[in-house]
């Protein structure tokens, strides 16, 4: 569509582009380094956190090294499997690696209050606890889940309930029982049966959902949205992810499509779902009990059936072209036929597949232990997307979100104050302040980082961003000069790291903040951002608007469709839908 060149005029500085913990990392690059701890430091404190890296994923966890290596390696195998199934093996890949974080148990995960803005897990019944967070960010997708599994309780116990957490490799019904025998009248001992029953999960129906199953499901969804972005219905993405949630992997093979644990109990506990309600989107209303297992069943049927798979592909192609749900559903033929097929699809011999491959096609991860300074960034980077953006409408939710953001920012400021020489903390604070609209504080943190590392590209970029925001508030007579000064720091960051994504975003945004028409190099940079982070809706919305303004309505339409008619509600969706409507009916751009 456009050249990917940007801003590098004349002689670019020939410096290595170090991928870092606080910045995006391109797929295929396995040279993550973290700057900030000065070489003269005689003692570096280490943390309990480790980072495992493969060509397509970075995983952070407190797991022991063996478990972390296995998880990261399996995700790399899943990437190879999905690439083979979609014909992408050995294709060039300039997208940004997904960053995965595994966090404690369900309680610890929930206490983070990671609000989903651009992806939704359900709507599922309360029994299907949400232990996964996904955010398709403009600087690379973020995925998080618990380190422990969680017991999904379909029917509560009359006695002591099963522990909420589980490991996924043991029977959730096994429980330890402590009894206190009492002495009988003849000097013997007896045990009260009610005392035992009170400690057992009596008549409970529960099963363990492993943490890895959530990782695999989320990873598969991200794969589709990254390499094949389209206007998918949510049920298809959910079912596609669940097909790979039960993946089993060995050194040279991967199996997928197995029945999920508790499948028959779920099917017996919840009514069969009407196909018509799925295809027209009524399942999203939550009026009926829609579960991940309903999504698994429908997609598994359509995917593995020689009769239904061609119809599925025709349906998805229609949705990708922007067809309405009713027109696209006609690809399946008679709805009653599909309903009968889905209702009958519950046997114990449902098809799965095994793919064998040379072990070297899924390289083993590298792993290293993180310093305390590096580990301190993990939670902050994860929370960034959930804390910065708040509901636009006035009300209790907005007030609560603003209070959480203020408290979170205060914590980052305190860390930066206590550890002024740790560049990582200054960079995180600078990003948070700029994204929260606090340019003065952002500038101060960026300057603190630059005092130690004058060529730190992210510090230069955040300095330029802060100056851009301050220029917009300056008197009219000063704005042109101040915007030019702000862009000079962003351009310097780009020249130091021509492949960096964040300077491209900052350069384009500098014109949007100034209310100026973006020049071609800025649009080319924005296009590269969409190319590097295809799942992120924000850059797509901006690029679609620019393409419409340049009369490239067909390209604008394909850019906007995954947002405007995509599977998830996002802050960008209404604006994308309005732009798409203008592109389709030929209205001039505003």
Give residue 228's pLDDT band: very low, low, confident or very high (50, 70, 90): very high
Higher pLDDT, 137 or 192: 137
Note whether 540 and 560 are within 8 A (CB): yes
Give residue 234's pLDDT band: very low, low, confident or very high (50, 70, 90): very high
CA distance linking residue 62 with residue 100, whole number of Å: 12
Give residue 242's pLDDT band: very low, low, confident or very high (50, 70, 90): very high
Query: For position 187, what pLDDT does the model report?
Result: 65
Q: Measuring CA to CA, how many Å separate 371 from each of 44, 71, 426?
A: 7, 21, 16
Each as own residue / partner, the long-range contacts of residues 285-292 (CB below 8 Å, 24 or more positions apart, any chain) are 285/123, 286/122, 286/123, 289/125, 290/122, 290/123, 290/124, 291/124, 291/125, 291/128, 291/266, 292/124, 292/128, 292/217, 292/238, 292/242, 292/245, 292/260
Query: For position 171, what pLDDT does the model report?
Result: 43
Query: For position 584, what pLDDT does the model report?
Result: 79
Residue 475 has pLDDT above 80, yes or no: yes
Query: Torsion-angle region of residue 434: left (phi > 0), alpha (psi -120 to 50) or beta?
Result: alpha
Query: For position 1, what pLDDT does the model report?
Result: 26
Q: How wide is the angle at C-alpha 414 spanned by C-alphas 412 and 415, nearest 5°? A: 65
Residue 229 has pLDDT above 80, yes or no: yes
Token code pair at residue 57 = 């994923």
Residue 516 has pLDDT above 90, yes or no: yes
The separation between CA 467 and the C-alpha centre of its own chain, rounded to angstroms, equals 30
Higher pLDDT, 325 or 11: 325
Mean pLDDT for the stretch of residues 536-553: 95
DSSP string, 141-198: EEEEE-SSEEEEEEE--SSSPPPSEE-SSS-TT--------EE-TTS-EE--HHHHHT
Query: For position 2, what pLDDT does the model report?
Result: 28
CA distance linking residue 474 with residue 470, whole number of Å: 6
**Which range is least confidently modeled, 321-325, 417-421, 501-505?**
417-421
| CA nearest neighbour of 570 among 39, 136, 168 | 136
- Mean of pLDDT over the chain: 86
CA distance linking residue 332 with residue 314, whole number of Å: 8
| CA nearest neighbour of 565 among 236, 281, 315, 232 | 232
Mean pLDDT for the stretch of residues 254-270: 91
| CA nearest neighbour of 483 among 471, 473, 494, 493 | 471
The separation between CA 43 and the C-alpha centre of its own chain, rounded to angstroms, equals 35
Query: For position 59, what pLDDT does the model report?
Result: 96
CA distance linking residue 467 with residue 490, whole number of Å: 10
Token code pair at residue 61 = 């966890």
Give residue 349's pLDDT band: very low, low, confident or very high (50, 70, 90): low
Query: For position 35, what pLDDT does the model report?
Result: 36
CA distance linking residue 285 with residue 384, whole number of Å: 29
CA distance linking residue 140 with residue 501, whole number of Å: 9
Residue 511 has pLDDT above 90, yes or no: yes
Residue 184 has pLDDT above 70, yes or no: no
Residue 95 has pLDDT above 80, yes or no: yes
Residue written as tokens 């929260």? Answer: 436
Residue 347 has pLDDT above 80, yes or no: no
Higher pLDDT, 349 or 426: 426
Per-residue pLDDT tens digits for 356-412? 999 999 999 999 999 888 888 898 989 998 898 887 888 888 898 899 999 999 999
Share of the chain above pLDDT 90, in %: 68
Share of the chain above pLDDT 70, in %: 85
Query: For position 25, what pLDDT does the model report?
Result: 63
**Number of other residues whose CB lies within 10 A of the CB of residue 585:** 7
Note whether 232 and 319 are within 8 A (CB): yes
Query: For position 207, what pLDDT does the model report?
Result: 87
Query: For position 197, what pLDDT does the model report?
Result: 57
Q: Measuring CA to CA, how many Å separate 180 from each of 132, 159, 191, 526?
A: 41, 17, 7, 69
Query: For position 7, what pLDDT does the model report?
Result: 32
Mean pLDDT for the stretch of residues 540-565: 95
Query: For position 181, what pLDDT does the model report?
Result: 60
Residue 42 has pLDDT above 60, yes or no: no
CA distance linking residue 298 with residue 338, whole number of Å: 9
Per-residue pLDDT tens digits for 299-318? 999 999 999 999 999 999 99
Mean pLDDT for the stretch of residues 264-283: 90
Residue 10 has pLDDT above 50, yes or no: no
Residue 353 has pLDDT above 80, yes or no: yes
Note whether 190 and 182 are within 8 A (CB): yes
**Which range is least confidently modeled, 18-32, 310-324, 549-563?**
18-32
Mean pLDDT for the stretch of residues 314-336: 95
CA distance linking residue 521 with residue 383, whole number of Å: 32
Residue 22 has pLDDT above 70, yes or no: no
Give residue 153's pLDDT band: very low, low, confident or very high (50, 70, 90): confident
Mean pLDDT for the stretch of residues 255-272: 90
Residue 172 has pLDDT above 70, yes or no: no
The 8-class DSSP code of residue 21 comes to T
Show Cβ contacts of residue 10 under 8 Å, excluding neighbours closer than 6 positions: none
Query: For position 168, what pLDDT does the model report?
Result: 58
Query: For position 390, what pLDDT does the model report?
Result: 83
């Amino acid at each position: 569509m456009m050249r990917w060149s940007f801003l590098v005029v004349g002689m670019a500085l020939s410096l290595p582009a170090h991928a870092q913990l606080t910045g995006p990392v391109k797929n295929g690059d396995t040279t993550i380094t973290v700057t900030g701890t000065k070489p003269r430091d005689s003692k570096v404190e280490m943390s309990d956190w480790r980072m495992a890296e493969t060509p397509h994923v970075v995983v952070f966890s407190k797991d022991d090294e063996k478990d972390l290596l296995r998880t990261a390696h399996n995700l790399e195998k899943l990437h190879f499997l999905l690439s083979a199934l979609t014909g992408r093996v050995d294709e060039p890949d300039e997208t940004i690696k997904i960053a995965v974080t595994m966090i404690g148990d369900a309680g610890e995960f929930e206490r983070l209050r990671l609000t989903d803005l651009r992806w939704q897990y359900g709507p599922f019944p309360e029994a299907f606890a949400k232990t996964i967070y996904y955010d398709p960010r403009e600087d690379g997708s973020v995925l998080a889940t618990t380190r422990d599994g969680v017991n999904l309780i379909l029917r509560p116990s009359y006695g002591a309930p099963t522990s909420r957490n589980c490991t996924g490799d043991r029977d959730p019904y096994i429980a330890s029982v402590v009894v206190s025998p009492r002495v009988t009248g003849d000097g013997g001992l007896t045990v009260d049966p009610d005392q035992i029953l009170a400690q057992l999960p009596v008549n409970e129906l529960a099963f363990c959902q492993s943490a890895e199953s959530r990782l695999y499901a989320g990873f598969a969804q991200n794969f589709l949205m990254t390499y094949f972005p389209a206007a998918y219905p949510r049920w298809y993405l959910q079912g596609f992810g669940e097909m790979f949630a039960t993946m089993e992997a060995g050194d040279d093979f991967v199996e997928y499509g197995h029945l999920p644990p508790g499948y028959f109990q779920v099917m017996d506990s919840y009514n069969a779902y009407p196909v018509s309600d799925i295809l027209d989107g009524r399942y999203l209303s939550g009026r009926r009990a829609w579960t991940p297992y309903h999504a698994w069943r429908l997609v598994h049927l359509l995917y593995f059936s020689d009769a239904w798979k061609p119809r599925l592909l025709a349906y998805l192609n229609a949705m990708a072209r922007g067809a309405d749900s009713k027109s696209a559903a006609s690809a399946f033929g008679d709805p009653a036929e599909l309903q009968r097929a889905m209702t009958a699809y519950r046997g114990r011999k449902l098809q799965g597949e095994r793919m064998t491959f040379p072990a070297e096609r899924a390289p083993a991860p590298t792993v290293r232990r993180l310093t305390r300074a590096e580990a301190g960034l993990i939670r902050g980077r994860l929370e960034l997307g959930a804390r910065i953006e708040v509901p636009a409408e006035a009300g209790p939710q907005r007030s609560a979100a603003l209070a959480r953001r203020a408290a979170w920012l205060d914590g980052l400021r305190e860390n930066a104050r206590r550890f002024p020489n740790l560049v990582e903390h200054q960079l995180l604070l600078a990003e948070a302040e700029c994204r929260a609209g606090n340019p003065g504080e952002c500038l101060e943190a960026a300057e603190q980082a630059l005092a130690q590392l004058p060529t730190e590209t992210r510090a230069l970029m955040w300095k330029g961003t802060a100056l851009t925001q301050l220029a917009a508030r300056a008197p009219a007579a000063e704005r042109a000069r101040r915007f030019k000064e702000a862009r000079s720091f962003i351009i310097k960051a780009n020249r130091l790291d021509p492949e960096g994504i964040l300077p491209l975003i900052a350069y384009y945004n500098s014109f949007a903040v100034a209310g100026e028409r973006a020049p071609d190099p800025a649009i080319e940079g924005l296009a590269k951002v969409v190319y590097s982070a295809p799942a992120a809706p924000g850059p797509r919305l901006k690029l679609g608007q620019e393409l419409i303004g340049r009369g490239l309505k067909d390209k604008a339409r394909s850019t906007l469709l995954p947002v405007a008619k995509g599977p998830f509600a996002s802050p960008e969706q209404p604006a994308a839908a309005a732009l798409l409507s203008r592109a389709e009916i030929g209205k001039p751009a505003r």
